[in-house]
Structure 1
Amino acid sequence: MLVTFIQRAVVQGIPLLLGSTGEIITEKSGNLNLGIPGIMYVGGISGVIGAFLYEQSLASPAAINPFLAVFIPLFCSILGSLLMGLIYAVLTVTLRANQNVTGLALTTFGVGFGNFFGGSLIKLAKSDMPSISLTATSNCFRQTLPFANDLGWFGKIFFSYSFLVYTAIIIALLASYVLNRTRIGLHLRAVGENPATADAAGINVSLYKYAATCVGSVVAGLGGLYYVMDYASGVWSNNGFGDRGWLAIALVIFAVWRPNVSILGSILFGGLFIVHNYIPNLSVSMQEIFKMLPYVVTIIVLVVISMRESRENQPPAHLGVSYFREER
């Protein structure tokens, strides 16, 4: 039971890890992107569109090419989430629109975009249920390491996942290394802390903000693709993401803007999100209370880091504020 709980916590937490890693990269440049839930939604539906069109082109499910079945949805997801990131960057960096309003508008747009095309695909597939199933593509995404079952509980906990799980962890570790150990990371953090000083030092502020926003959006969009193709076994249903996008943003605060801490935080949040399923005889109202735990933990962490006033655990000083070079 414990092994199963840990496995489900990891699977539940990976979308949060990808979303939070993408948001951390974006926020390090000083951009507060509250459009992450919408970007994850677009990343998921873009992958579904690519997978649907590919499966429809096959004579039979047995003719599927595993490489194309993974590459096409992956490419479509990256493209869709990249376009969302570009929209946000143009509005907030070039046009200097309010970042909070832009992010919320992007979330609303992303959910509407996903529901529109999701509903269209359901009608094209002539499904009897309000959902579309891409089982053949999902099976390619959910392939696990062949030796996992031979290692007992150790293999089930550490090696029984799909490639996107390990990709998410590698991305988080790589992001942590780049942010803390490279010149690019130093410049990016400088832009987020004090863009005027960074600009005076010869750093291209707009370029770093664009790059961080677009890269962060692509990473977050992969969280939506993972949710559909792996967690949901290839089944898309409108409004099926729940509040995972907002949980990803909450995880950023819990991880104190450190991608490597997000790895453990995502597993913890994933466990808290499903722990009510492992407590017998819980009423519906108590289940809803338990689902609040990730947010409660985030609030507690926010209060603690605010009281400690530790600079390294604080958000970038210029987070959410547009940079006007003329006012330097």
Structure 2
Amino acid sequence: MTTTTESARPGPESGMPMPVPHQRKRIPGWLRGVIWAVVAIGVMSAASYSTGVSSLTSSNTTSTALRLALPILLCALGGLWAERAGVINIGLEGMMILGTWGAAWGAYYGGVWIGLLAAIGFGALGGLLHAVATVTFRVNHIVSGVAINLLGLGVAKYLANLIFEPLSGNPRQSPPVPKFDTYSAAGLSDWLGSMEDQQRVGLSDVAGILKGLVTGVAPLTMIAIVLVPLSYWVLWRTRFGLRLRSCGENPVAAESLGVNVYRYKYVGVLISGALAGMGGASLVLLKGGADYLENQTNGRGYIGLAAMIFGNWRPGGLLGGAALFGYADGLQLAGGGEAVLALLYGTVLLLAMIVIVQLFRRRWIAAGLGVVGAGILYTIYWTNDTLPSDLIPYTAHFVTLIVLAVASQRLRPPKADGALYRRGEGD
């Protein structure tokens, strides 16, 4: 009879190497984003070919989508900075409203760059009020955010009555304000345009999308796009970002290590308000958009917050969410009901691929939701030749929400997000 002793087992005592558990290499986040972008373009190209609706991948749709995604992207980035510091900011809508008024006022008297700075200042002022309420006086973050939204709407309305009514005769609208000039990559844009006109399957679709991204681009658009990797680098690759994120994860532990939690929370919310103000400026100062109008934001602050959540509080993820919302909005403006109906068909194809991925990951609930959503959308597509005009503006966003809900990963917000913190409470 043979007995097994401890020394006979592989390990440090026996001199034999311990087995190393196999760890599956994770795909980097940026590479996953690129893969999904390629998949989405391929799906929209297939849908465009199958339905005969070229506006799904046209340069006009892409250019419009980029302009409409900009305020959502900037608000989502604003939400990211605040919530990574541990402060829930549903007051983005109010800060954005203040930014629209500040942009029109500053641009009318000093030009577009002064308008942008004024929008950033007014948005940051809204962020300061939110920080004072939530950080200093420990007001519930949701209550304070709602108050900021109401206050922003009221202040902008009062200032418009005071400043704009004598100039334009309309208290709900500003006089015409200057817009940002736009720039194009001339040679590249012309070449892509010729490729798009050839209507080659796949190739012309990619050319149309790329042309929309390099034609008629404003400096504010370039700044907003650069802010995405810049925010990632600052928050995840610098000492300042590590300390700010520690305030959103465990402020008591951060305080014990010498971090001034109040200061970092204030900085995070101020940057959040400034970015939301920039989002408001993009509605006023970009060509193709209107001058200042009352209720001009139309809930984009809330949509930006949703994009941030579905992006799992990461810059790359929220970029994808903002792009989806902007594309859906731009498509219904550029292509009308026919294009939105074609979008339903493309979404069914995209959901089918997402369901396969979720089944592979053994996420049964998400896969089931994808099957149900695909079934509903295909039924709508199959039983309708066109959509009622009243439903067109909402259908695209409904489609976007379904895709985001099914494709979203396990959400992981900052652990202390929304927690009321008081200095020294961990002692």
TM-score normalized with structure 2 length: 0.66
Higher mean C-alpha deviation, range 237-246 or range 99-108? 237-246
Counting matched residue pairs gives: 303
Q: Which amino acid aligns with 1:320?
A: G
Q: Aligned equivalents of 1:163 and 1:45: distance in 2?
A: 20
Matches within 5 A, 1:241-256: 241-256=297-312
RMSD, aligned α-carbons = 2.2
2:113 equivalent among 51, 64, 71: 71
Name which of 93, 101, 114 aligns with 1:45: 101
Amino acid paired to 2:93: P
Helix, strand or coil: the match of 2:258? coil
- Aligned pairs for 1:279-290 within 5 A: 279-280=337-338, 281-287=386-392, 288-290=394-396
Q: How does 1:308-319 map to 2 (within 5 A)?
A: 308=410, 313-319=411-417
C-alpha offsets along residues 192-221 of structure 1, whole Å, 9 cap, x if unaligned? 000001111111101110111111211111
2:81 counterpart letter in structure 1? I
C-alpha displacement of 1:260: 2.5
Unpaired runs of at least 5, structure 2:
1-54, 194-209, 339-385
The gaps in structure 1 that reach 5 residues or longer are 55-68
| CA 149–252 in structure 1, closer or farther in 2 if over 3 Å, else same | same
Q: Does the residue aligned with 1:251 lie in a helix, a strand or coil?
A: helix
> 1:250·1:298 contact (CA, 8 Å) conserved in 2?
no
- Say which structure is richer in helix: 1
Asked if 1:100 is matched to 2:139, the reply is no
Aligned equivalent of 1:179, options 235, 248, 272 = 235
Which residue in the other structure is 2:182 paired with? 143
Q: Distance in 2 between matches of 1:122 and 1:211?
A: 32
Q: Which amino acid aligns with 1:111?
A: L
> What corresponds to 1:198 in structure 2?
254
Match for 2:415: what amino acid? A
Structure 2 counterpart of 1:125 = 167
Say if 2:157 and 2:172, in contact at 8 Å, map to a contact too.
no
Structure 1 residues 155 and 271: CA distance shift in structure 2, 3 A: closer
> CA offsets per residue over residues 175-203 of structure 1, 9 Å max, x none?
01111111111111111000001111111
Report the CA distance between 1:283 and its aligned residue.
0.3
Tell whether 2:423 aligns with 1:325: yes
Letter in 2 for 1:317: K
Percent identity of paired positions between Structure 1 and Structure 2:
28
Structure 1 residue aligned with 2:294? 238
Query: In terms of mean alpha carbon deviation, does 10-19 or 45-54 score higher?
Result: 45-54
Offset at 1:238? 0.7
The answer as to whether partners of 2:308 and 2:318 remain within 8 angstroms in 1 is yes
Residues 82 and 268, structure 2, Cα contact 8 Å, conserved in 1 = yes
Counterpart of 2:397 in structure 1: which amino acid? Answer: K
Q: Rg: which structure is higher?
A: 2
* Counterpart for residue 157 of structure 2: 115
Question: Residue deviations 1:18-38, cap 9 Å, x none?
Answer: 110111011000000110000
Letter in 1 for 2:421: Y
Say whether the 8 Å CA contact 2:168–2:174 is kept in structure 1.
no
Instruction: Compare 159-168 and 145-154 and name the one that shifted more.
Output: 145-154
Q: Secondary structure at the match of 2:184?
A: coil
Structure 1 residue matching 2:96: 3-state secondary structure: helix
Q: Are 1:43 and 1:224, in contact at CA under 8 Å, matched by a contact in 2?
A: yes
